[in-house]
Amino acid sequence: MSAPPFDQRDGWIWYDGQLVPWKDAQLHVLSHGLHYGSSVFEGERAYGGEIFKSTEHSERLRKSAEILDFEIPYTAAEIDAAKRLVLEKNGMKDAYLRPVAWRGSEMMGVAAQANKIHLAIAAWDWPSYFDPAQKMKGIRIDMAEYRRPDPATAPSAAKAAGLYMICTISKHKAERKGYADALMLDWQGRVAECTGANVFFIRDGVVHTPIADCFLDGITRRTVIDLAKRRGFEVAERRIMPDELPSFNECFITGTAAEVTPVSEIGPHKYQPGNMTKVLMDDYSAEVQPKSKAA
């Protein structure tokens, strides 16, 4: 049986400082964020009742809004507290959280300096972004048609809703062809990221990943880089060209939703999820657990 639509679920959502019944958390159809993409968001996970790197996510949310020229009227500490309240009110320990901030409906036009800034936080059960059985075998990824834009033309350092438009198009196209996701190049034709996750490659014991200067430098990405270095693995953050793809032995992607997910194919290129990927998967699983349980 399929899950109910997101607007028809039960529970509580934090909305502009108050907990409201899930189905009552609505906004007007003439909200600026809907028409002009003036919206930013975060994706976070709670494990055992603790939100992994909650403050880092809250600070990034506020920074993303600043890049889009608006200020969220709550501090990072207040956002952290609101997220904890959402978990508690919904009786959840393991959950996915979605804070989202947007410009309201006071003005309707490109300029909207007077619009109220809204903030909402929801939480729901989302065990794995990819099918768990398939994940262990490695997912199949297609090559995307669209590219990540030049950072001189788009606010690539922000987790802005509008930047995900080409990701949705690319992921839909990949799924229709039987793939789980799509790999995007940057505006200069270099390997960038997947539609909602960063990408890593392994060759001769070295972990390679693209430089995050035209796409989001993911919190999970940085966590995995740190875990790899703790293991003594060499990590090379560098430019990666598509013609290098056949030369790598292993590949995996990272993100709050994806966590650490092995890749078995990118278009015609094959990879075998191996020991280094497995080690980093296990290390990440241990890292996100509440320290009292992981000890």
* Residues 6+ positions from 104 with CB-CB distance below 8 Å: 27, 28, 31, 32, 33, 115, 116, 117, 118
* Residues 6+ positions from 100 with CB-CB distance below 8 Å: 39, 40, 41, 42, 119, 120, 121, 161
The 3-state DSSP class for residue 95 equals strand
| Best CA proximity match to 134, nearest among 267, 265, 282 | 265
| Site of tokens 């972990």 | 207
Q: How far apart are CA 127 and CA 92, in angstroms?
A: 13
* Residues 6+ positions from 26 with CB-CB distance below 8 Å: none
Q: How far apart are CA 137 and CA 130, in angstroms?
A: 11
Tell me the sheet residues that pair with 267: none
Strand 139-143 vs strand 259-266: parallel, antiparallel, or unpaired?
A: parallel
Q: How far apart are CA 45 and CA 66, in angstroms?
A: 23
Catalytic residues: 159
End-to-end CA distance of the chain: 38
CB atoms within 10 A of CB 274: 13
* Residues 6+ positions from 75 with CB-CB distance below 8 Å: none
